[in-house]
Amino acid sequence: MGKPKLLVWASASVLMLSLAPPSFAQTGESLADQMAYAEQVSLADRYSLQVQPDETLNSQEPGFDKNNVDNQAGVNWNPTLKPQAEIIPGKMRSDREEIPGGFTKEEADLAELQEAQEQAAALGEGPSLRSAASHCSTYWPSPYQVCGAIREKYDSMGGPRSFLTWPKSNELGVPDGVGRRNEFLNGHIYWQPDTGAHSVSTHFATVWARNGWEAGRMGYPTSDEYVAADGVGRRQDFQDWHIMGSLAGMAAIGGAIFDKWVELGAELGPLSYPLNDETATADGTGRYNNFLGGVIFWHPQYGAHDVSGVPLLIWSKSGYEQGQWGYPTSSAAHRDDYPIATYQEFSKSRWTSPQKLLIPVTLLSTASP
């Protein structure tokens, strides 16, 4: 007896727009042409999406291993055991060891002198570079000192053994006159009395910088960089915003758009990671973020809503928020009368998938004896 024929019914609601708004019918294009065009529409064409193609990010390593020196360059660092209190040719640590980090011999020798003075001061001997007020330390071969709460943070991370490696500045002020900072070869530590001291890697610092550093909309960091909930990307929290980093790039996200993204499951949800910093829309009224799985648009009247899949393709063809549909006013939802069909409300119209359309597909098999 031959094998029976197998009949499969496949839903085509994602392919047909039998209930699409009249404006599409008025274009004179066939449905196939409309969908083919929509599939070719790229978010980059409309919103100049920038995904850095040269990123080689490692989620387990702060700074993603793209720094001024290797993250592990200081892993074997130790303070000078018996630093010289004066320069003696041939007797300096720089005469016995290779100088790491790109520092010069002159810088290394100065660092050793400072270490000697700090150690003497700790024993109550000689002039002090480490007063009770400053609590500064030198980390050979860098001649720059790290002080106070920033030093405590740096030491807790491992000092030069951390991904930051060596300091490249003394403690510096910031424009607001409140916070303090030290620069390191592979990042920064910023301190502010309300937020404490936190490190910022060179990678995340690029995002923070283009958003105005601590004087911008993000404020000061309130956490160090840490592994995101999916175990793949990385995240850092600031006073008002957040930076998310993944293999797709790095982006700043905050406010109502961030709240909506979290509501949808954040990086574990259908939108996954953000691809650009929050940006003003072309009409100057709203804001948006692109994500791997769609977009979130915000408008002061309509709030923040996600758009993805076929609604996003069709909306992009119409001109996004400047087109005939305007801003999204809801997320996509299933129709009560036909659960596999969806609809989404916009400020000027509604996108609706067909009520019912099933395509029969017959799969024939070779008859067996």
Structural domain spans, the chain: 1-51+248-369, 69-216
- Cα 270 from Cα 253, distance rounded (Å): 16
In the block, residue with structure tokens 């274009």:
27
C-beta of residue 348 within 8 angstroms of C-beta of residue 325:
yes
What is the reported pLDDT for 17?
A: 31
Q: CB-side exposure of 56: number of CA atoms within 13 Å?
A: 3
38 pLDDT higher than 90: no
pLDDT tens-digit profile of 274-326?
Answer: 999 999 999 999 999 999 999 999 999 999 999 999 889 989 998 999 999 99
C-beta of residue 243 within 8 angstroms of C-beta of residue 251:
yes
In the block, residue with structure tokens 């063809």:
317
Rounded to a whole number of angstroms, the distance between the first and last alpha carbons of the chain is 6
What is the β-pairing status of strands 241-246 and 234-237? antiparallel
Q: What percent of the chain stands above pLDDT 70? A: 73
- Cα 283 from Cα 269, distance rounded (Å): 29
Lowest mean pLDDT among 17-21, 132-136, 140-144, 299-303: 17-21
Residue 270: other Cβ atoms inside 10 A: 13
Identify which has the larger pLDDT, 125 or 28: 125
Q: How far is CA 344 from CA 239, 261, 306, in A?
A: 34, 17, 10
pLDDT tens-digit profile of 90-119?
Answer: 999 999 999 999 999 999 999 999 999 999
Select from 278, 127, 153 the least CA-distant residue to 212.
278
**Residue 261 is inside which H or E element, if any?**
helix 255-263
Q: What percent of the chain stands above pLDDT 90? A: 63
